[in-house]
Amino acid sequence: MSMKNQKTLLIFINGLPETLKKYYMAFDTKTFKTRALTAIIFAAVMLVGLLLNQWSFIILFTIIHFGCWYEFIKLQKGIDPLNFKSKSSLGLLYITLPIVLMICIRTWYFDGINDNYLKIIPCGIIFSIWINDTMAYVVGSFIGKTPLSKISPKKTWEGTLGGIILCIAIISLLGYATGFYSIRDWIVVSACCGVFGTFGDLLESKIKRMAQVKDSGNLMPGHGGFLDRFDSMLIAIPFVAIYYFLFINL
């Protein structure tokens, strides 16, 4: 970069508000490109698995299931090398149960329900988690001041509540616009994902802290492993499933 361009860049940065200046100075173009590319690939794979057909869905979540199990056992080894086998059995509740419930939601036929209709709630769960995470980060970045938990110091109450509220609003509006299910159903589904998804994130952060690792794995450069990507989903699914089977598809 020439001296003239460097001066222009410095003038531009100095003219930014302090909040934006902090993020601009911390911005790493190379890291951003890597994270963006892996995020696009991840989203594309997820969408194909979710939307193509039942078999693509089952294959996708079978891979997620065993990927999460592999990382969970590895984390338990790091926490307690002598007793990791017995403690790893908790993965049946933490990982296997939610994945089985997700597959049941997608494949459990009811009278008058076609295959396209069965795709909607699983997609709603995934999109709710993505929107909640994104909105919590954005809101927390700009107005977050009050730490949510010592487990995850970067999370704030402002970001968490902002993420949940925006998740409910966006998913409810999108769900209502599609005409699938009632707006009450979408409020409940998105609220479950926002609230319990946050608990899932904190739980996985606690497990990683106990194992003294930053990421559960290296599935996606810059984004972590399977558990890092699906921690919120694993805790949210059982609560959505309870509502789904009790109140939506009786």
**SS3 sequence of 93-116:** HHHHHHHHHHHHHHHCCCCCCCHH
28-81 pLDDT tens trace? 566 667 767 877 888 899 999 999 999 999 999 999 999 999 999 999 999 998
Beta-carbon contacts of 187 under 8 Å, excluding residues fewer than 6 positions away, are: 168, 172
> How much is the pLDDT for 13?
41
Bridge partners for 147 per DSSP = 156
Tell me the H-state helices in 80-182. Answer: 84-88, 91, 97-107, 115-118, 120-143, 157-178
Does some domain include residue 39?
yes
> How much is the pLDDT for 31?
64
Domain range holding 171? 23-248
- And the tokens for 97? 């149960």
Does some domain include residue 13?
no
Does some domain include residue 155?
yes
> How much is the pLDDT for 206?
94
Does some domain include residue 11?
no
- And the tokens for 177? 């616009």
Number of domains in the chain: 1
Does some domain include residue 97?
yes
pLDDT tier, 109 (very low <50, low <70, confident <90, very high otherwise): confident
Give yes or no for residue 249 having a pLDDT over 90.
no
> How much is the pLDDT for 222?
64
> How much is the pLDDT for 138?
92
Q: Rounded to whole angstroms, how far apart are CA atoms 219 and 226?
A: 6
Q: Rounded to whole angstroms, how far apart are CA atoms 146 and 104?
A: 39
Q: Is 181 left (phi over 0), alpha (psi -120 to 50) or beta?
A: left
Give yes or no for residue 170 having a pLDDT over 80.
yes
Beta-carbon contacts of 40 under 8 Å, excluding residues fewer than 6 positions away, are: none
214-240 pLDDT tens trace? 888 887 666 688 999 999 999 999 999
Summary mean pLDDT of the chain: 85
Does some domain include residue 57?
yes
Give yes or no for residue 15 having a pLDDT over 80.
no
The residue type of 127 is F
Q: Rounded to whole angstroms, how far apart are CA atoms 18 and 40?
A: 30
Does some domain include residue 126?
yes
Does some domain include residue 4?
no
